[in-house]
């Protein structure tokens, strides 16, 4: 009888949560995707764990460490102690992905819009840090092959891994130790590097000096960030440092979605790192990657009202691009962003290409995304872009 009563209370609580999220989503005119994400996060945060579950998971993490396990839950522990999101049984759509990106490039060429495909590296400079048992990882080779197929079709490509190696960048610090994303410092470097590429290829005339590190200030939150990879290993009490960067010059930025209503306006911190101003750095204990990036919308438009040019760029990106785009906006009047989302991208992408003109289109995809497990059908793949209109 008591168990039935408890179960009933749980059901009523779930219904209340659902109604609360749905009503607020309707009031704020959220899309279906945004509403679904809000419901999922709210339900999981309230009902996923019993009070002692995090402690049990932490004990499991300690067991993995004690038994020297090098792979668990699609995460490999590298020989230098860093963690790598790693799928041991990949099912790739190499040629289908290449053909889709080539079709995009051909469409843009016919419409006089230049296109650059950027291969973003994972934490691997090479395969030397892979544990012996998992040294047959082919993520670098696969991503290289994808880029080569695209280049062979006459599409402009850029190998960011090679650029990092040539400039002597340290792969062990360019990415978080226990999360698959690059750091904000790397995102600034990537902004300048991509800016230099599109400048050289397409003669855009932008001032890439805006991305000099002397133009930025930073604040570091020590032991404040719990990455996705350490969470997958159940290390719920393991944290690392995270540093937020922001320009030391004046900015006036508007962030909008499809509806054109502002998501956020103000200076760089107001729009992209609002917690820093609202709470104060000294009061922040935990800080997430998402606390210094764009929010997750299928399409966004960033306008920088103080940029001295009329250049626009479209970024087609995965989650690393959510940190790249704010810094790119420091030297483009308008940065448009198509965020790669399963089953959503095909409609959004071609609509965005039909709605606006761009001085350059850049598709930047990490080896992590390229190497991730694919489903049985290509149209369900995250890199399925749909088909160009006739």
The sheet with strand 253-256 has its strands ordered as 156-159, 115-120, 360-366, 312-317, 334-339, 299-304, 253-256, 262-266
Pair (31, 180) in one structural domain = no
Q: Is 312 left (phi over 0), alpha (psi -120 to 50) or beta?
A: beta
Pair (31, 106) in one structural domain = no
Q: Is residue 388 part of a domain?
A: no
Tell me the two tokens of residue 157.
């490509």
Each residue's pLDDT tens digit, 249-281: 999 999 999 877 789 999 999 999 999 999 999
Please name the residues in contact with 313: beta carbons below 8 A apart, sequence gap of 6 or more.
198, 328, 332, 334, 335, 336, 358, 359, 360, 361, 362
Pair (163, 246) in one structural domain = yes
Distance CA 111, CA 65 (A): 54
Pair (104, 32) in one structural domain = no
Each residue's pLDDT tens digit, 281-323: 999 999 999 999 999 999 999 999 999 899 999 999 999 999 9
The residue-averaged pLDDT of 345-367 equals 95
Q: Is residue 386 part of a domain?
A: no
Determine the longest span between alpha carbons in the chain, in angstroms. Answer: 74
Q: What is the DSSP letter of 298?
A: S
Pair (43, 71) in one structural domain = no
Tell me the two tokens of residue 170.
């340290």
Pair (186, 78) in one structural domain = yes
In this prediction the pTM is: 0.85
Pair (38, 71) in one structural domain = no
Q: Is residue 54 part of a domain?
A: no
Q: Is residue 57 part of a domain?
A: no
Print the domain residue range for 26: 2-48
Please name the residues in contact with 183: beta carbons below 8 A apart, sequence gap of 6 or more.
173, 174, 175, 176, 242, 243
pLDDT score for 304: 96
């Amino acid at each position: 009888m008591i168990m039935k009563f408890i179960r009933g209370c749980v059901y009523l609580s779930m219904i209340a949560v659902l109604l609360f999220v749905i009503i607020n989503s309707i009031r704020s005119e959220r899309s279906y995707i945004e509403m679904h994400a809000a419901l999922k996060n709210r339900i999981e945060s309230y009902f996923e764990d019993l009070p002692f579950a995090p402690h049990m998971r932490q004990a499991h993490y300690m067991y993995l460490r004690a038994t020297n396990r090098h792979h668990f839950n699609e995460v490999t522990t590298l020989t230098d102690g860093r963690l790598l999101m790693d799928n041991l049984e990949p099912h790739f759509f190499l040629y289908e992905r290449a053909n889709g990106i080539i079709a995009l490039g051909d469409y843009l060429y016919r419409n006089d819009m230049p296109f650059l495909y950027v291969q973003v590296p994972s934490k691997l400079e090479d395969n030397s840090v892979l544990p012996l048992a998992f040294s047959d990882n082919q993520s670098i080779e696969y991503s290289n092959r994808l880029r080569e197929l695209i280049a062979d079709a006459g599409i402009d490509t850029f190998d960011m891994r090679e650029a990092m190696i040539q400039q002597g960048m340290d792969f062990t610090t360019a990415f978080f130790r226990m999360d698959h994303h690059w750091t904000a410092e790397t995102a600034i470097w990537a902004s300048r590097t991509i800016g230099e590429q599109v400048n050289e290829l397409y003669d855009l005339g932008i001032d890439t000096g805006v991305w000099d590190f002397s133009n930025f200030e930073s604040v570091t939150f020590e032991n404040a960030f719990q990455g996705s990879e350490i969470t997958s290993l159940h290390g719920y009490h393991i944290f690392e440092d995270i540093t937020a960067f922001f320009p030391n010059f004046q900015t006036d930025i508007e962030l909008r979605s499809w509806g054109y209503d502002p998501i956020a306006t103000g200076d760089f911190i107001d729009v992209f790192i609002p917690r820093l101003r609202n709470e104060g750095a000294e009061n922040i204990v935990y800080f997430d990657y998402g606390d210094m990036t764009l929010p997750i919308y299928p399409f966004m438009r960033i306008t920088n009202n103080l940029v001295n040019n009329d250049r626009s760029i479209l970024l087609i990106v995965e989650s690393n691009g959510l940190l790249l785009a704010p810094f790119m906006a420091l030297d483009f009047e308008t940065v448009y962003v198509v965020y790669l989302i399963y089953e959503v991208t095909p409609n959004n992408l071609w609509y965005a290409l039909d709605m606006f003109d761009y001085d350059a289109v850049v598709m930047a995809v990490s080896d992590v995304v390229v190497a991730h497990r694919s489903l049985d059908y290509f149209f369900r793949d995250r890199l399925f872009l749909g088909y160009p209109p006739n």
